[in-house]
Amino acid sequence: MLMLRRKIAILLLCLVAGWPGGLAAQTTERRFVPGFDDLPLMPGLTVVGEAPVVFDKPGGRIVDMVAHGPVGQVDALAFYQGALPELGWQPLDSTPARARFRREGEMLLIEFAGRERNLTVRFLLSPS
């Protein structure tokens, strides 16, 4: 009985202390851009404003949201080029200032503006 209590105590300590796979290791939750179902917000970016501009039209929806943060333009472009195809977005084209993706009748434009480490990112979703 004493051995079982020790094992339980060790297990609880590992979970709380952040042993790989424990509760502390799972607290880093993935954030998403408001107004989008599953568009991840790159770590380091913060949403500007309180709510996205959203228009629902018969032909589809339009969503416009802006984020800002101390990230590099090249890093942000690489983040979205890597993350979005895993979520079903097909890359169309990109330049250092913008990237375009398409998924299920919608077009996503991501624009990058500002200086290195002081970047503003605009997310614009529209029917394709």
Chunked into runs of 10 residues, the chain (128 residues) has average pLDDT values of 39 38 46 93 94 86 96 96 97 96 96 92 96
Instruction: Give the type of residue at 118.
Output: N
CB contact at 8 A, 50 and 16: no
In angstroms, the CA 43 to CA 45 distance is: 6
Q: How many residues does the chain have?
A: 128
27: nearest Cα among 11, 15, 13: 15
Q: 30, 47, 46: which is closest to 87 by C-alpha?
A: 30
CA–CA gap between residue 6 and residue 95 (Å, rounded): 58
What's the confidence (pLDDT) of residue 94? Answer: 95
pLDDT of 52 reads 84
Q: What is the pLDDT of residue 115?
A: 83
Q: What are the domain boundaries of the chain?
A: 1-29, 31-127
Output the pLDDT for position 29. Answer: 62
pTM for the predicted model, two decimal places: 0.75
- Helix residue ranges per DSSP H, the chain: 2-17, 73-83
